Homo-oligomer: A and B are copies of this chain.
Amino acid sequence: MPDNLSENYDPSLFERPSVTVDVVIFSLVADDLRVLLVKREAPPFAGMWALPGTFVRLDESLGDTAVRALTNKTGVRDVYTEQLYTFGRPDRDPRTRVITVAYFALIPYDSVVQQAEGETTEWFSLSQLPDLAFDHAEILAYALTRLRYKLEYTAVGFQLLPDVFTLSELQKAYEIILDEKLDKRNFRRKILTADILEETGEKKKEGEGRPAKLYRYRKDAIAEVKTRRLFP
């Protein structure tokens, strides 16, 4: 094989790796950030837990593959997904060369309906993860870093909540993910001045205290919250 091979050649002449998409699906369950894992039934790593994933079909885009894997396991359709990183260590799969494009997804737990038939899936708390197959622990760690990072400068948090939610619920979601208490007044000011939510006009009446205003995400909004530039 020549050292200067380039795509001028017929691609079919080269050996091809397998390509999969693995999805790190986050959701909030019982005031806890959790991730969906699938129990492997066949080797390699039979009996271990792994990220939901699937092979890329030749006629589908990577994003479509991610959504397919996700919908297949959760029944959820319209979801926030984002490509994370592509992992391709030659030995990451003992069978053959498999390159995986990792995605992460945020879904509201109340929209999860159908579990895939014949497969064991489970929502694991991030503090009680089992050993994972392949390099999935690395992928998951990467996804968590990215999620936390994104929360700090964008406003994706509400993707984990139902369509309509209160500011207290949103704050709680942020606190769970970032694992720290936030100041109520500062939080509200930041979220509201970011101008990405709109009031529904409705209020949530439930339990004791004063009813809370309900908000929804303004679909026309730019999700980026203003950040400080280093060199303005």
Give the B-binding residues of A (Cβ under 8 A): 1, 3-12, 14-20, 38, 40-42, 50, 52-62, 68, 72, 83, 85-86, 88-90, 93, 95-99, 101, 116-119, 151-153, 174, 178, 182, 186-187, 190, 225, 227-231
Select from chain B the residue with minimum beta-carbon distance to A90.
Answer: B59
Find chain B residues with CB under 8 A from A5 CB: 54-55
Other than A19-B19, A59-B97, give 20 A-B pairs with Cβ distance below 8 A.
Answer: A3-B68, A4-B116, A4-B118, A6-B52, A7-B54, A9-B55, A11-B18, A11-B95, A11-B96, A12-B95, A16-B17, A19-B99, A58-B90, A99-B101, A152-B230, A174-B231, A178-B231, A187-B231, A225-B230, A227-B228
Distance, CA A13 to CA B61, complexed state (A): 20
Distance, CA A230 to CA B228, complexed state (A): 10
Find chain B residues with CB under 8 A from A95 CB: 10-12
Distance, CA A22 to CA B3, complexed state (A): 16
Give the Cβ gap from A113 to chain B, nearest Cβ, in Å: 16
Q: How many copies does the complex hold?
A: 2
Select from chain B the residue with minimum beta-carbon distance to A42.
Answer: B8
Instruction: Please tell me if the beta carbons of B4 and A96 are within 8 angstroms of each other in the complex.
Output: no
Give the Cβ gap from A18 to chain B, nearest Cβ, in Å: 4
Find chain B residues with CB under 8 A from A88 CB: 56, 61-62, 101
Find chain B residues with CB under 8 A from A227 CB: 153, 227-228, 230
Find chain B residues with CB under 8 A from A56 CB: 17, 88, 99
Distance, CA A53 to CA B14, complexed state (A): 14
Pairs across A and B, CB under 8 Å, 14 listed: A3-B68, A7-B53, A8-B40, A8-B41, A11-B93, A11-B98, A12-B18, A16-B19, A19-B99, A83-B86, A88-B101, A152-B229, A174-B231, A190-B231
Find chain B residues with CB under 8 A from A231 CB: 151-152, 174, 178, 182, 186-187, 190
Instruction: Say yes or no: A99-B62 contact (C-beta < 8 A), given A18-B11, A56-B88.
Output: yes
Instruction: Please tell me if the beta carbons of A17 and B19 are within 8 angstroms of each other in the complex.
Output: yes
Distance, CA A183 to CA B141, complexed state (A): 39
